[in-house]
């Protein structure tokens, strides 16, 4: 096991790794779309190499935590030399921080992630920051989609608001082009024209992923499909559990909020779990999480009384439209006893849906 004297500070490691993500976001912000499709593009190759190192370091942090917790790790000896580079035992080998981490002009998205995390998270921020940026350089997300999401995260797409206040075109109205009275800063969430269709479709993607994982865990289904091929059944049931999808709960007393996305009934424990999914903008994560919990208080009381249950609880599943993952999401996934990697699948589905929404909103079929 690595001696405690040589173990580096986890925050110092994260600074070096997180700066790599900042470099990528900054580079994507300044490059043209014609550049990103170039096969032999030196800057693109350099960034991809950096991201491969970044993702490798992410696995190192997990192993590092295992070693600290006293769990066995076959990489302990290999990590000793790498850790020495970070803690300064061998100054000649210690990597220098990229300039972007020193200067204040980091990307808007990095600042946005930090702002959300500072407001919501009091501990274990490292893993949450890294989880929020897992899509960067991921092989499962097309590079053009990654760029499109990055542009929206940095708010550099040519919306009416951007043209008026950033490009200083004072003749340009900043109102939504689809008739909303709001300023056009709500592309990824909040436009009334997209709420009943595209936003709902994105919401359902996340809900379907959760539903299928629950059905498989509770042995209500025997196989798993790709999330885009999966169609939930309204009711799944066996001797121990019952799983409802998008079902209205009838109560003696009328309740307006009576249709959670998913309902789990544990027959043996006499427990009901209400699950509701939301994909808000990044600045609305805390409010939306609290809103979901308060939203079903009355329904919890009615279900407990009418269904004669001992326990009823609401678990919100909240992820931002640009893939920011609050700590509450990881905690709720753990509470549902789902796979630790399910947030990656949800993030991928949400980001691809957001990329489609941005493309459709801007009305450019060629991008």
| Span 291-303, pLDDT tens digits | 999 999 999 999 9
Q: Which helix (H) or strand (E) holds 33?
A: helix 33-36
Q: Which two tokens stand for residue 294?
A: 């308060």
In the chain, where do the E strands start and end? 235-237, 241-245, 262-266, 271-278, 311-318
Give the residue among 196, 198, 146, 164 at the shortest CA–CA distance from 361: 198
- Cα–Cα distance, 110 to 21 (Å, whole number): 8
Average pLDDT in the 251-262 region?
93
Res. 192: pLDDT tops 70: yes
- Cα–Cα distance, 282 to 152 (Å, whole number): 12
Average pLDDT in the 110-125 region?
47
User: Residue 179: its pLDDT value, please?
Assistant: 85
Bridge partners of residue 314, in order along the sequence: 274
For residue 356, give the DSSP letter: H
Instruction: Compare 236 and 130 and report the one with higher pLDDT.
Output: 236
For residue 124, give the DSSP letter: -
User: Residue 114: its pLDDT value, please?
Assistant: 54
* Range in 60-69, 219-228, 274-283, 329-338 with the lowest mean pLDDT: 60-69
User: Residue 37: its pLDDT value, please?
Assistant: 41
User: Residue 280: its pLDDT value, please?
Assistant: 92
User: Residue 340: its pLDDT value, please?
Assistant: 81
Helix (H, G, I), strand (E, B) or coil at 183: strand
Percent over 70 (pLDDT), the chain: 57
Q: What is the pLDDT of residues 147-186, one digit of tens each?
A: 666 676 667 788 888 888 888 888 888 889 888 888 888 8
Instruction: Compare 127 and 295 and report the one with higher pLDDT.
Output: 295
Res. 19: pLDDT tops 80: no
Res. 220: pLDDT tops 50: yes
User: Residue 241: its pLDDT value, please?
Assistant: 97
**Which range scores top for mean pLDDT: 132-141, 161-170, 259-268?**
259-268
Q: What is the pLDDT of residues 41-100, one digit of tens each?
A: 454 455 555 555 545 555 555 555 555 555 555 555 544 444 444 444 444 444 433 322
Q: What's the whole-number average pLDDT of the chain?
A: 73
pLDDT band at 363 (very low <50, low <70, confident <90, very high): confident
Pair type for strands 235-237 and 311-318: unpaired
| 314 within 8 A of 293, measured Cβ to Cβ | yes
Q: What is the pLDDT of residues 265-319, one digit of tens each?
A: 999 999 999 999 999 988 888 899 999 999 999 999 999 999 999 999 999 999 9
User: Residue 282: its pLDDT value, please?
Assistant: 83
Q: Which helix (H) or strand (E) holds 58?
A: helix 42-68
Instruction: Compare 14 and 335 and report the one with higher pLDDT.
Output: 335
- Cα–Cα distance, 149 to 151 (Å, whole number): 5
Q: Tell me how far CA of residue 188 lies from CA of 44, 101, 346, in angstroms.
A: 27, 28, 16
User: Residue 62: its pLDDT value, please?
Assistant: 56
């Amino acid at each position: 096991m690595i001696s405690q004297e040589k173990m580096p500070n986890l925050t110092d490691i994260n600074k070096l790794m997180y700066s790599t993500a900042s470099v990528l976001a900054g580079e994507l912000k300044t490059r043209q779309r014609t550049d990103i499709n170039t096969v032999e593009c030196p800057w693109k190759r350099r960034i991809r190499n950096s991201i491969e190192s970044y993702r490798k370091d992410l696995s190192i942090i997990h192993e590092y935590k295992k070693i600290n917790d006293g769990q066995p790790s076959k990489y302990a000896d290999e990590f000793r030399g790498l850790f020495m580079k970070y803690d300064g035992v061998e100054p000649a080998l210690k990597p220098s921080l990229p300039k972007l981490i020193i200067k204040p002009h980091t990307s808007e998205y990095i600042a946005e992630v930090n702002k959300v995390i500072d407001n919501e998270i009091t501990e274990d921020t490292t893993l949450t920051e890294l989880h929020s940026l897992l899509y960067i350089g991921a092989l499962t997300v097309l590079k053009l989609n990654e760029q499109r999401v990055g542009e929206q995260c940095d708010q550099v797409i040519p919306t009416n608001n951007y043209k008026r206040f950033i490009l200083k075109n004072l003749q340009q109205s900043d109102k939504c082009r689809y008739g909303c009275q709001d300023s056009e800063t709500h592309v990824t969430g909040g436009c009334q024209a997209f709420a009943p269709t595209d936003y709902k479709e994105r919401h359902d993607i996340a809900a379907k992923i959760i539903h299928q994982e629950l059905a498989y865990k509770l042995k209500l289904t025997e196989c798993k499909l790709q999330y885009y091929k999966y169609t939930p059944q309204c009711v799944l049931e066996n001797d121990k559990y019952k799983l409802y999808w998008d079902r209205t709960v009838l109560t003696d007393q009328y309740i307006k909020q009576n249709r959670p996305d998913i309902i789990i009934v544990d027959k043996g424990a006499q427990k009901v779990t209400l699950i509701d999914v939301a994909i808000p903008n990044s600045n609305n994560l805390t409010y939306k999480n609290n809103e979901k919990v308060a939203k079903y208080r009355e329904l919890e009381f009615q279900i407990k009384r009418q269904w004669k249950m001992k326990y009823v609880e609401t678990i919100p599943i909240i992820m931002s439209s640009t893939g920011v993952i609050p700590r509450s999401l990881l905690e709720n996934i753990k509470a549902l006893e789902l796979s630790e990697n399910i947030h990656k699948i949800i993030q991928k589905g949400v980001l691809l849906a957001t990329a489609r929404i941005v493309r459709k909103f801007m009305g450019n079929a060629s991008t």
